[in-house]
Structure 1
């Protein structure tokens, strides 16, 4: 078993905005839409970002037209880039380093996401046959995140994702193998707006599936693989996601559940449900 605590208890894999230089509010672009009230190019600070790197409307993002901000998760990349890669020196202290910091951030975010999934996979009781490989992959990726800016920018993220994805897939298969009569493979399926009320999807692979606006009211999603599934505005009222694999807080935050929705123990019920 991994010597690390369960993935949800690891602060290095959760966003700590208080230790970040507001990187997601500067480095990333967004377009005026239902998710964002204004256009913003990459590398330009959001108009609501204060000089202390805090969001001026953080407590009212949804009502201010920025629900997209509430479902974004950097998996701890923000504080790692701010405090480790750049040693606690932000754009105010070292303006010349800002552009490099914004370039490093999205790379680090992908590496931190892989770390989060690897940590979860190592916690799976059924992952014993691949736990040693998961540990090696985890430790290799973690070492990459601790390099300097040049080293992080030189990482072949696509290769790391391909390698990590295959290993996570094996762990998923092992974890779902014991589910009796599990549904077929729905990886990458276009299920936008699908009527799946009460669907029996226990142990299903929904990896990368498009479930935007899908009606999953009362659906059984126990032990389903939801890695990368798009759950924006999916209706999860009364749905059961206990034991669901690789589901993140951001995915849950983007969905529409209620008090009867059952979530994995590591996730919190969104306040807007």
Structure 2
């Protein structure tokens, strides 16, 4: 729904929203990824992330604070982004370059095309599935947003066997505000709600959800019902709000670091 005085109010019932959340979970699942710290000595969960395709190259994106515990010179070899290949075998994506923006809390990892062609259970978000005008979405389309991530409380690790068990959380909420000066989308959040199956649930924490992608709802769009608005960056626990960094700024960062003259990170590997 939008503001009541808006002529373009989107009307949707609670039951419709529940069904849409279930459909969104299935649609967004292959784009959602888990970042793990993984070497010969240890494995542990870092946080969530998403896969995007930009100018025919492939990237995994998350927050800088998600990977901050890994030394920068060890991130290419020490970070595990798991996937299943076409034979159902568990593999880790081959990272060929990485970059981060600490000020804006962005980290991007370029994935080798050799990994991409072997991936069976993941897919990369296309550019036309990313909303580059979040203000226009909020003002003219809807204030409904969907998220899908790996909460920390749903991740368990067998440290001896180095086996990770993970459950995802789809979460539907609404835009609280958008500040053009700070360029941050604020979402309302509640630790109690209803699952996509209709049962009441209580969320113990949004920890681990950082880095997951946030999507708008395009009910009247003929091509897709969902477009990425941004990346979940922080949780204001006392104010019941989530902060989102717009996807267009993430793409601008990727453009500057990986594509601009003198900035192709692959040349530095």
Is the radius of gyration larger for structure 1 or structure 2? 1
Higher helix share: 1
For normalisation by structure 2, the TM-score amounts to 0.25
Greater RCO between the two (CA within 8 Å, min separation 6)? Answer: 2
For normalisation by structure 1, the TM-score amounts to 0.25
